[in-house]
Structure 1
Amino acid sequence: MLTISEFGRRTGLSHKALRLYDVSGLLPPAQVDPANGYRLYDEEQLERARRISVLRQLDMPLTTIAEVLAGSDEEGLIRLDRWWAAQEATTAARRATLQYLRDRFSRSGSTGLAPRPVLTRDVPETKIASIRSDTDQQNLIGIIVTATDEIRTYLQAAGATLPGESWVIYHGPVTPEAEATVEVCVPFQGLVDPSGPIAIRVEPAHHEAYCTITMDECAYPRIMLAYDLVDDFVRTAGSTITGPPREVYRANCHLMPRDQPAVDIAQPISRSAILEGKP
């Protein structure tokens, strides 16, 4: 058995950190001396402690560390890669936001979004697998990337056929100051049962207005300008909104050049006389 001081020396963890990991259930001591309350650790806990230390250096939250370390090493590797992909996507989005701000400072008269058409289309009834989460703007990208990968992995293991695209449906306004529910959706074909956070449902057929943007234009707040274009179109057309707005991500959009069309900003609407005959 190792004292907390010896265990901390061999793992690089402070007494404060070890007490925190004990309270959180992440790394409880093997024994607590009933006479003096001293924490004692087993040598077999050294590897887990060292992994926790390295993961914390990556700024991974304790709850995520618990998930990474909860199962086998193979499962932990999948969760680690999924989390890291979310971090990289968040960094790319922040970089695009920075560029947006630089553009605004250097060209104060521009809108920040090049003119583009808003079109309409019919969307057929579609079977989807989805995960709902409450999030604010800061954590949104990470949740989208993580949930999409989790759903795709589950569907592929179940033998479903995936067309490639994915959606994010916004059931409330997500802002830097306020959380709202988002639903990450992956369309599929086949017979699949729900599992854990993954729900299976049918998205009703609908008519929608949409415009297409690039991955760079997805960054907040530039993406809101695309939503404004669609909102203005719907208002001018005299249509009624019939469902929550959504973002439709094309297959492998994360691998596309960031200045290429990749995402549709879409709003389900009713048909109107003004729109009849238009695409």
Structure 2
Amino acid sequence: MLTISEFGRRTGLSHKALRLYDVSGLLPPAQVDPANGYRFYDEEQLERARRISVLRQLDMPLTKIAEVLAGSDEEALIRLDRWWAAEEATTASRRSTLQYLRDRLSRTGTPGLSPRPVLIRDVPATKIATIRADTDQQSLIGVIVSSTYEISAYLRAAGATLTGESWVIYHGAVTPEAEATVEVCMPFDGLVDPSGPITIRVEPAHREAYCTITMDECVFPRIMLAYDLVIDWVRAAGLPEAGPPREVYLPDCQSIPRDQPAVDIALPIVERNA
């Protein structure tokens, strides 16, 4: 058995960190002396402690570390890669937002949206696998990416056929200051049961108004101009809204050149003859 001081020395973790990991259940000591409360650790806990230390160096939250380290090493690798992909997507989004602001301040680039039509289409009833999450604007991209990875991996393992596109339905206003519920959806064909956070449902058939934007135009707050375009068009046409707004990401949108059409901003509406 190792004292907390020796264990901390060999893992690079402070007494404060080890106490925090004990309270959180992430790394409880192997034994606590009932007489004096001294903590002792087993040598077999060294590897887990070192992994926790490395993950904390990556700024991974404790709750996410617990999730990553649960289960086998193979499962941990999948969860780690999924989390890192979300982190990289969030960083790329922030970089694009920074560039948008720099363009506005320097009066270069295109501050708004170029003229484009708002179109109407009929969407058939569609079977989808979804994950709902509450998020603010800063965490939104990470939630979308990690949820998409989780759903697609589950559907493929279940033998389902993915259509290639994905949706994000906004059940509330996501802002930098406030969280709201978003629903990441992936249409598929096949028989799949719900699992954990993943639910299976059918999105009812509906008619929707939409416009198409590029990946560059997805940058917040520029993307809000596309939402304004669709919502203003729907209201000017006197068409009642029939559901929450959504983003429809075209298949392999990440590989499409950033200045080419890649995402539809859509709003369900009541049919004209209804």
Shift of 1:30: 0.5
Alignment of 1:30-179 (within 5 A): 30-107=30-107, 111-179=111-179
Which runs of 5 or more residues in structure 1 are unaligned? 274-279
Question: TM-score of the superposition, structure 2-length normalised?
Answer: 0.96
Partner of 1:252: 252
1:156-235 pair list within 5 angstroms: 156-235=156-235
Deviation at 1:110, TM superposition (A): 6.2
SS at match of 1:188: strand
CA contact (8 A) 2:207 2:268 kept: yes
Residue segments in structure 2 that go unaligned for 5+ positions in a row: none
Deviations 1:197-239 (A, max 9, x none): 1111110111111111122221211110110110111112111
Contact 1:216/1:259, CA 8 A, preserved across alignment: yes
Spell out, residue by residue over 1:49-84, the C-alpha distance to the aligned partner (whole angstroms, 9 max, x if none): 000000000000000000010110000000000000
How many residues get paired?
A: 273
> For 2:229 and 2:85, how far apart are their aligned partners in 1?
30
Distance 2:110 2:140 in 1: 27
State the alpha-carbon separation in 2 of the partners of residues 42 and 252 from structure 1: 48
Please report how far the alpha carbon of residue 268 of structure 1 lies from its aligned counterpart in structure 2 after TM superposition.
0.5
* Structure 2 Cα separation of the partners of residues 25 and 4 of structure 1: 16
> Partners of 1:68 and 1:258 in 2: how far apart?
32
Partner Cα distance (1:260, 1:71) in 2? 41
Structure 1 6/66 Cα, relative in aligned 2: closer, same or farther at 3 Å? same
Q: Would you say the 8 A contact 2:245–2:268 is kept in 1?
A: yes
Determine the structure 1 residue equivalent to 2:264: 264
Deviation at 1:255, TM superposition (A): 2.5
Aligned-partner residue type, residue 266 of structure 1: A
Query: What is the one-letter code of the residue matched to 1:114?
Result: S
Query: What code does the residue aligned with 1:102 have?
Result: R
For the structure 1 residues 109 and 59, does the alpha-carbon distance in structure 2 shift closer, same or farther, using more than 3 Å as the test? closer
**TM-aligned CA deviation for residue 17 of structure 1:** 0.5
Aligned residue number for residue 3 of structure 2 = 3
Deviation at 1:195, TM superposition (A): 1.0
SS at 1:159 equivalent: coil
Q: CA deviation at 1:38?
A: 0.8
In structure 1, what is the equivalent of residue 25 of structure 2?
25
Equivalence for 1:239? 239
Amino acid at match of 1:224: M
